[in-house]
Amino acid sequence: MAARASLCAAAFALVLACGAVCGAETPKPAAAPASVDAANVYSPMDLDALRQAIGRTTTVEGTIVASGENKSKTVRYLNFTKNYHESLGLVFFVSKGGDKFSIEKLGVWVGKKVRATGKVSEYQGALQIAIDDWQQVKEAR
């Protein structure tokens, strides 16, 4: 039994040595997925792709169909679909922007095609990008 174990160990060492001498590469762990490049533009309705981008900076482009604010008036939003669960939404936290993100200023975007860039997150099953600065939102051509 000891001779067999010794033979197995010698064979294993030979395989390793042959790999090193023959130039065989050591397997490398799979690379982590690359972060979503802001140069790639996604439809705000492409929820499968955007779910893969949670936590990463992403650019979306589409036409705004609605604006509003939550009941407690702490969050304002721009939506790309009437039902906000059918697309990613742009959210504006009043505590971070106040009048900079007034209802009137958001309303100007309704009907316009926009390109927005920011970190994708999920809140209660809905995908969103928090907008901290108007530089993140541009009118698209």
* Domains in the chain with CATH codes: 41-139 (2.40.50.140)
- What confidence score (pLDDT) does residue 97 get? 85
What's 43-98 look like in SS3? CCCCHHHHHHCECCEEEEEEECCEEEECCCCCEEEEECCCCHHHCCEEEEEHHHHH
The span from the CA of 47 to the CA of 127, in Å, is 8
Indicate the average pLDDT of the chain: 80
Asked if pLDDT for residue 71 goes beyond 80, the answer is yes
* Region for 98 from its dihedrals, namely left if φ exceeds 0, alpha if ψ lies in -120 to 50, beta otherwise: left
Query: What contacts 106, CB < 8 A, 6 or more positions away?
Result: 67, 68, 76, 77, 78, 92
31 pLDDT band (50/70/90 cuts)?
very low
Q: What is the pLDDT of residues 76-123, one digit of tens each?
A: 999 999 999 999 999 999 998 888 999 999 999 999 999 999 999 999
**Model pTM greater than 0.75?**
no
